[in-house]
Amino acid sequence: MELDVIYILWLRQMKRYVRSRSRVIGAIGQPILFLLALGYGLGSVYKRAGQGNYLEFLVPGIIVQTILFSGVFWGIQILFDKRFGFLKEMLVAPVSRFKILLGNALGGATISFLQGLFVLFISIILGFRAHNWAYMPLSLLIMLALCLMLTSFGAGLASIVEDFQGFQGINNFIIFPVYFLSGALYPLTNAPVFLRILSEINPLTYCVDAMRYTMIQQTHFGLVKDLIVIALSLIVCVVFAVNRFNKIQA
């Protein structure tokens, strides 16, 4: 299985991350800003509308947001490796491309997961409490699946595009609509019909819904449907990443 190869490539990603202070601060700062600005800023409005505690509603969505941005933008690492040569060093080694992708993507997924955990930790400090802590292991599993899914998606995307601006552009074109249509920031129940339809065809909506169910026991689609969509999306993203990475010509 060459676990040592997968491990060394995973370790490389971790070392790069830990040594880049700006990356750590940047990745964590944004979700904290969202939690503070939206959680506290809109909390009273949300409460007056009879919807309850907005911070509780928001936290699962912000965790998904953190993983979404961190996971997909991790793909830029592949672009860096492509543009600055290290990918060549990996591709000429007597190791299958699948293992090269797996080692690197697991590193990216671990980083996203740690960032998601950090946001959860900050949320608890800010006053968030899960309704039933027994569901927390399932929350963490969903976070893991989400990390793998989005890191794979980022890797696949980065395997196709050649320049940073292109990657950024495509990312923004995909990420922001997907995020804003996921129900991370507002409930879908009373949303206009067209918005609900768009949200229902967005896989991220089901991730947010599953996280919300496991953390505060609120759901729009039901956990089983959520988990099926998450599993299918994970498979599609992994197949996409493997397929595109195999076609890279360094």
Partner 1 sequence: MSESIIKATKVVKTYGNVKAVRGISFDVKAGEIFAFLGPNGAGKSTTISMLTTMLQPTAGKLFLNGYDVEKEQAGARKSFGIVFQDPALEEELTAYENMKIHAVMYHIPLAEQAGRIEDLMKLVDLWGRKDSYVKTYSGGMRRRLEIARGLLHHPTILFLDEPTLGLDTQTRNLLWDYVKKLNKDKQTTIFFTTHYLDEAEEVAQRIAIIDHGKIVATGTSKQLAAQTNTKSLEEAYLSLTGKEVRDETSLSNNGLNVRTASRNQRLR
Contact residues: partner 1, CB under 8 A: 2, 4-5, 8-9, 12, 15-16, 19-20, 82-95, 162, 248-250
Spell out where the chain has E strands: none
Q: How far apart are the first and last CA of the chain?
A: 25
Distance (Å, rounded) from C-alpha 55 to C-alpha 110?
A: 26
Nearer to partner 1 by Cβ, of 9 and 147: the residue is 9
Please say which residue, 17 or 153, places its beta carbon nearer to partner 1: 17
Instruction: Name which of 33 and 162 has its Cβ closer to partner 1.
Output: 162
The set of long-range contacts for 227-233, using a CB threshold of 8 Å and a minimum separation of 24, is 227/142, 229/203, 230/142, 230/145, 230/146, 230/149, 230/203, 230/206, 231/145, 232/203, 233/149, 233/203, 233/206, 233/207
Nearer to partner 1, 3 or 124 (CB): 3
Neighbours of 61 (CB within 10 A): 23
State the Cα–Cα distance between residues 85 and 210, nearest whole angstrom.
40
Contacts of 20 (CB under 8 A, 6+ apart): none
Q: What angle do CA 180, 183, 197 make, to 5 degrees?
A: 85
Residue with smaller CB distance to partner 1, 7 or 40: 7
**217 phi, psi to nearest 5 deg:** 55, 40
Least distance to partner 1, CB of residue 43, Å: 40
* Between 5 and 150, CB nearer to partner 1: 5
Shortest Å, Cβ 146 to partner 1 = 26
206: buried, middle or exposed (CB in 10 Å: 19+, 13-18, 0-12)? buried
Task: Name the minimum Å distance from CB 106 to partner 1.
Answer: 15
Min dist CB 166 to partner 1, Å, is 11
Least CB distance to partner 1 at residue 17 (A) = 9
To the nearest whole angstrom, how small is the minimum distance from the Cβ of residue 83 to partner 1?
8
